[in-house]
Amino acid sequence: MCTTGLLLLARCRKPPPSSRTSAYCGVRKPPSLLQARCFHRSQLLRTLSLRDLPDRVCHDSPATEPAGKDPSAIALHSALPRFLRWPQPPRTVLIINKPHDEPTRVAFLEVTSWLRQSHPSITIIVEPATAAEAGSEMLDLVVADNSEDLTRVVDFVITLGGDGTILHTSSLFPTRVPPIISFSLGTLGFLIPFGIGDFRTALQNLIAGPAVPLLHRTRLTCAFFRANGLRIVTDGLDTDLQAMNDIVLHRGRHPHLTITECSVDGEFLTGGIADGLIVSTPTGSTAYSLSAGGPLVHPAVSSLILTPICPRSLSFRPALLPPTSTIRLRLSRASRVQADVSVDGRDVHLLGREEYVEVRASRWGIPCVAKGDGGRDWVGGINRTLKWNQSFVNTFKEP
């Protein structure tokens, strides 16, 4: 039996009929997660291994990772139109929602209630924080902690919140990512094509429709190394970290500029004196990179974007690199300060002098459910959400 498992809160009337999940642990004091007034001491707690859940349904869509580093394979992989077709109905959904937000909590209860009524055969998995906020409404849900490998069992993901909710979802999947359908309840919502009012139609089309369009979003992967080339363990894991938006080397709270040696595919590119450097995906081109003067890049354009942050040079400009590139950022021995490295806005490592981080396009992209071909969602978001090139007094009207 796996030591880490899934917690299923069940009503205490009868044990489940399945012989695979009938191991009964008896009445025990609920852990801190369940110590809410909405729970009763009479409820029972039992533990399921991931083996007790069925494998995900292998949907009929192009693979979400290219083979090797062949440029044509990666370019074709990103440009292909993608449609999701289920060979059989999906069995498991993971719902991720924005925490500590009442409108999001209400939307979560509406979505789960609709799923229970319209598709009762689908198992719903949530995070512990979501379960705690849901209260007594979570009795039929499966609670998974962050240590669980969800890749094998999750068929698709529903996110309720803003762009940050999608970034958090990306961090839960170090390898293959299931299709994600997102509903806007956040501040910006540039990455989110659906409003929460559309969830019934959108989910019905995703679960039971003939096919839904997918937009593939590239991720980055990074690893850290000492001056002698030995790998540095980060976040307690000896694996590459995945980023949906960007990987940023920055001076943090230090007053001095960083001196960074940047190379591409083993060839020295430049020694940058700046507040920092950003390596972003096309998805991240509308985030920190854009604020630092980087270009807008369509998510279907498979590429890496290198953007300096406040460089001490008039000629250090952003660069667009092919997706096969390996970018190495080494903190120079001449740098007066160490540098923080953040992945999607989360600091993960303090880079010492002569240590370096290697960044490349990840094998594991993110298939996002789109309204149309994905391109129209992006163009509309640039116009409506980012207000691109709109003057203070808008004298133009949309046709």
Q: Where are the domains of the chain?
A: 6-217, 220-361
Tell me what the mean pLDDT of segment 223-250 comes to. Answer: 89
Contact 204, 369 (CB under 8 A): no
**pLDDT, position 13:** 32
Lowest-confidence segment of 21-30, 48-57, 86-95, 246-255 by average pLDDT: 21-30
Q: What are phi and psi of 356, to 5 degrees?
A: -145, 160
Average pLDDT, the chain: 79
**pLDDT, position 392:** 60
**pLDDT, position 31:** 35
**pLDDT, position 383:** 74
Helix (H, G, I), strand (E, B) or coil at 198: helix
Tell me what the mean pLDDT of segment 292-314 comes to. Answer: 94
pLDDT tens digits, 271-280? 989 999 999 9
Residue 36 burial (C-beta neighbours within 10 Å; 0-12, 13-18, 19+):
middle
Tell me what the mean pLDDT of segment 150-158 comes to. Answer: 92
Please state which architecture CATH assigns to domain 220-361: Sandwich (2.60)
Q: How far apart are CA 190 and CA 170, in angstroms?
A: 16
**pLDDT, position 187:** 65
Q: Which helix (H) or strand (E) holds 107?
A: helix 102-118
- What Cα–Cα distance (Å) separates residue 367 from each residue in 76, 212, 241, 287? 15, 11, 18, 19
Q: Which residue has the higher pLDDT, 378 or 2?
A: 378
For residue 81, is pLDDT > 70? no
For residue 396, is pLDDT > 70? no
Q: Which residue has the higher pLDDT, 273 or 63?
A: 273
Q: For the whole model, what pTM was predicted?
A: 0.79
Please state which architecture CATH assigns to domain 6-217: 3-Layer(aba) Sandwich (3.40)
DSSP state of 296: P
**pLDDT, position 129:** 85
Catalytic residues: 163
**pLDDT, position 399:** 61
